[in-house]
Amino acid sequence: MEDIEVETLADPELSDPVLIEGLPGVGHVGKLAVEHLLEEFDSEPVRHVYADEFPPQVTLDDNVAQLARAEFHAVDAGEHDLLILTGDHQAQSNEGHYHLTDAFLDIAEEFGVEEGYALGGVPTGELVDEPSVLGAVTDADDVERLEDAGVEFREDEPAGGIVGVSGLLLGLGERRGLSVACLMGETSGYLVDPQSAQGVLEVMQDVIGFEVGFESLEERAEEMKEVVGKIQEMQNQQQGQAISDDDLRYIG
């Protein structure tokens, strides 16, 4: 096997395609968002990317092994075709991140992509009722267009910059002359966050011009709220317990 191996599954002509990346990350916001698009729209897998920088691992799907890989899917979403990049893994080394992102951008360029979006989450450290979507861009001219769609641009946020594939899609994409934006939904950072993913997708609808239903994401968000509720209840009970224990000891 080469260091990075790209398998071609299909080579459709895409019309004004837009790259959308959603690999695993904070709150799985990006991955949830692109998986939702793949569920809601018709899509066709077009490339698989294998790499010795991925973990040496197979996952099991009905007991059948599947080698660690990233996947590109073509989606007909209306005005623009979408080229969606997802998978279960990030690279495991600095160089790996650079090499894989380069390979991803090569594929995007093969399909004629000139515009891309890296979707992800930005951790707030606490539960957020109405998560904002923060933005970063390769081209200052894109700020206004994205602000009109509801993206917030805050000075010096995220403070540490953006790491991993999302960061490099901007950094390496810019060097190739692509216009790439990173859209980051606020999320606690502790839980998988379908609500934040929905927020990011609502922005994307506006920015790219497609329409998608949100029922299944809303259901998952409701489920997560119940989980959160139960955790909070348990914490309260434990604190109550602790207090009664203390009281007893005190009284005793």
Q: Which residues bind its own copies (CB under 8 A)?
A: 1, 3, 50, 52-60, 62-68, 91-95, 97-99, 101-102, 135-140, 143, 153-158, 160-165, 167-168, 170-172, 174-175, 180, 182
Least distance from C-beta 207 to its own copies, angstroms?
16
Closest approach of its own copies to the CB of residue 236, in Å: 30
Q: Which is nearer to its own copies, 14 or 119 (CB)?
A: 119
Question: What residues pair up with 66 in beta bridges, in sequence order?
Answer: 59
Q: How many CB atoms lie within 10 A of CB 156?
A: 6
Tell me 88's DSSP state. S
Closest distance of CB 26 from its own copies, Å: 15
Distance (Å, whole) CA 106 – CA 176: 10
Residue 54 or 111: the one with the smaller Cβ distance to its own copies is 54
CA pseudo-torsion sign 217, 92, 48, 19: positive
Determine if residue 28 is left, alpha or beta; phi over 0 gives left, psi from -120 to 50 gives alpha, anything else beta.
Answer: left
Give 131 or 164: the residue with its C-beta nearer to its own copies.
164
98: Cβ–Cβ under 8 A, 6 or more apart, which residues? 168, 172
Residue located via tokens 């890989």: 69
Main-chain dihedrals φ then ψ at residue 121, nearest 5 degrees: -120, 155
Distance CA(193)–CA(126), nearest Å, equals 12
Residue 212 identity (one-letter amino acid): V
C-beta of 70: minimal distance to its own copies in Å? 14
Cβ contacts of residue 42 below 8 Å, gap of 6+? 75, 76
CB of 59 to its own copies, least distance (A): 4
Nearer to its own copies, 1 or 251 (CB): 1
Cβ at position 45, least distance to its own copies in Å = 16
Least Å from the CB of residue 177 to its own copies? 13
Q: Pick between residue 139 and residue 222 the one whose CB is nearest to its own copies.
A: 139
Closer residue to its own copies in complex, CB, 175/225: 175
SS3 47: strand
State which residue, 161 or 240, has the beta carbon closest to its own copies: 161
Taking the C-alpha atoms of residue 168 and residue 137, their distance in angstroms, rounded to an integer, is: 12
